[in-house]
Structures are given as C-alpha cells and as structure tokens.
C-alpha cells in the first residue's frame, strides 16, 4: 500500500533523522590514499539525474575513495541497460525497467532511493478534458511497457473507466510533446521538464492529474547498482554516503542546482526551474513504500505478460545498507 502524502513525508523525515544519528561526520577523512574504486555513473539530463551529476562533479564520490566518471544517456532506461551490460555501475531510475531486467536474471540490485516526487510527472490534457470520463473517445499518447503505461492502467482502474473507450497511442518519450503540440493526441503522460513544455506548446493545455494524485504513483528514483557495488557492501555504503552528502549539498545550494538544471533541461526561466525542483525530495532513503511499489510494478508486468516469471522484489533490493551509513 502507498502511504498518504503526510505519512510519506513523515517517513522521509524519520529516515533522515535516523541517518543523521547513525552517519559519520561528513567532514571526516576518507581512505583515498588506500586506492580508489573505479566506477562509471550513468545519468540523464533530467531532474532525477541531477544528483548523480553533482555526486561526481562536486567530488562527493571521490571523497569516499571512488574514482567516478559520468556517462550520459537520453533517459534512465538506457542508463539502467548500461548497468546491466557492464558499461556502467550505477544509475537512478524508476522501478519499472529494473523489474523487467530482474525478471530476466540481470545482474542489478536496488540499494536505496534518492528522489521522490508527487508532482514531477502526470497527464497533460487539452481544453476538451476536464474529468477522467472526458478521456472517452479521445487519444492519449504514452510510451508502452513503461512506468507511464503502468500508471495509466492504475489511473483507469481507480476511476473505474472503460479503457476500450480511450484511444491509446504508443509513442516514445521524445515524440510525446511534438504529438501533443500538433494535436495528434488530446493528452500525454510525461515527466518534467516536458510537462511544462507540453503545456506551453498548446493553448488551453494544463496538467490534468499529477503523479501521486489519489496516492496512485508517487514517482521514486531508485539507486540501481551493478556487481562492483552490490557484491561489495563497503563500496555500496560509500556510494550511498556520497549520495546522502550530495542531497545535503543540493538543499543548501539551490541557486547552483537551478543553474545546472537550466543548462541540462532546456528550461530558461529561474522561477520555472525552481517550481519544478520544489516538487522533488532528493533525500536518500529506503522505506517500506519504496519496496512495495517495486513489487507492485513487478506483479503488474507479470499480469500484462511483459515478464514470464513472478519476481520477488526483495530478491533484488538491499534495504539495510542505508541504515549502515
């Protein structure tokens, strides 16, 4: 079960306090002289990829004795595939692609989550849609076999809609805003900064429903690790400690974060970037709601026939390293 917003926020606060009590002094010396662990960090030029850029570029991983280099991909899906194939060792992505890969026996594990949002993504609609029932006879575009398709099916079930009365257009994420702007679709499911771009691309467009409305799907960015990390707890804990310090730095240096976001996402307005940034909590955590969401995604993929075998989420998550910081 997903927790309500208030309880979810409280859980994050409690986790943060626990980490603060258990963690080491961020200013304490590292073991850089003992030889560094080389890691490749896969990231993407969107809001959920920002902590990974900062973890490498601001030296938080280096401080933990890790020689990290960045490798940029279009989205977290490609970045996760890079971890699976050994091209990278670490990334952050939604639970959906990880469940798909875990079902195929991929050597990846989730060791925490470092981003949570109730408003980072959602359904953008044109002026003809005001209620869920208004989707009948209309076209909604989304990328199939993705977090978006999972969220849409839950949305349909929650509002007791007849999905057969809604035209679903399969389109890659990069094609969604152009399709909406041209009027090929009455609605799309997308994430920021594309939510804002889609709204600005068409008169009368608005965010109809945000991810997390009705507690359907708060978006969680999971920390995905390859064998160099998940087979070595010492390295894994160092990675998580670096991400925790990155989160603290980002919260204290919002102006710098906003400037970096603008350089990566195409957003040009400070206020717009700040508004989107305010929707995301970059705290490092791993709470029961996170694992529950992973299991629900895996069960959905089995039900839809996207995977052949049932997956136990607990078999590819490591929940106790966060508490070891």
pLDDT of the residue at 31:
40
Burial of 244 (0-12, 13-18, 19+ CB in 10 A): buried
pTM for this model (two decimals):
0.80
pLDDT at 24: 38
* Whether pLDDT at 228 is above 90: yes
Spatial separation of the C-alpha atoms in residues 243 and 91, rounded to whole Å = 11
Task: Determine the pLDDT at residue 215.
Answer: 66
- The band of 193, judged by pLDDT with boundaries at 50, 70 and 90, is confident
Would you state the pLDDT for residue 4?
36
Which strand (E) or helix (H) includes residue 221? Answer: strand 219-225
Q: CB–CB of 192/120 below 8 Å? A: yes
Asked if residue 287 has pLDDT above 90, the reply is no
Q: Region 88-100: what's the mean pLDDT?
A: 89
pLDDT at residue 23 in the model: 39
Residue 48 burial (10 A CB sphere; 0-12, 13-18, 19+): buried
Q: pLDDT tens digits, residue range 114-159?
A: 998 888 889 999 999 999 999 999 999 999 888 888 889 989 999 9
Contact between 89 and 189 (Cβ < 8 Å): no
């Amino acid at each position: 079960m997903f927790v309500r917003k208030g309880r979810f926020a409280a859980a994050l606060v409690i986790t943060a306090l626990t980490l603060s009590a258990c963690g080491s002094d961020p200013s304490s010396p590292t073991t850089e002289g003992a030889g560094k662990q080389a890691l490749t960090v896969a990231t993407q030029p969107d809001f959920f990829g920002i902590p990974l850029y900062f973890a490498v570029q601001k030296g938080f991983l280096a401080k933990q004795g890790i020689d990290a280099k960045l490798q940029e991909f279009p989205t977290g899906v490609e970045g996760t595939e890079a971890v699976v194939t050994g091209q990278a060792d670490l990334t952050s992505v939604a639970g959906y692609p990880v469940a798909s890969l875990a079902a195929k026996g991929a050597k990846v594990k989730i060791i925490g989550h470092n981003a949570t949002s109730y408003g980072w993504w959602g359904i953008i609609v044109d002026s003809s849609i005001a209620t869920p029932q208004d989707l009948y006879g209309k076209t909604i575009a989304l990328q199939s076999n993705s977090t978006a398709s999972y969220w849409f099916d839950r949305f349909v079930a929650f509002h007791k809609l007849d999905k057969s009365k809604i035209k679903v257009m399969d389109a890659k994420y990069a094609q969604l805003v152009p399709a909406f702007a041209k009027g090929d679709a009455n609605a799309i499911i997308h994430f920021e900064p594309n939510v804002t771009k889609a709204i600005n691309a068409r008169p009368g467009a608005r965010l109809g429903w945000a991810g997390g409305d009705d507690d359907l799907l708060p978006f969680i960015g999971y920390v995905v690790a390859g064998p160099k990390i998940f087979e070595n707890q010492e390295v894994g804990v160092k990675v998580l400690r670096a991400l925790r310090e990155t989160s603290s730095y980002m919260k204290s240096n919002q102006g710098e974060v906003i400037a970096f976001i603008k350089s990566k996402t195409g957003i040009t307005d400070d206020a717009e970037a700040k508004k989107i940034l305010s929707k995301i909590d970059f705290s490092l955590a791993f709470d029961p709601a996170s694992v529950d969401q992973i299991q629900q995604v895996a069960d959905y993929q089995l039900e839809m026939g996207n995977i052949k075998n049932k997956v136990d989420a607990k078999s590819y998550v490591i929940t106790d390293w966060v508490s070891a910081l």
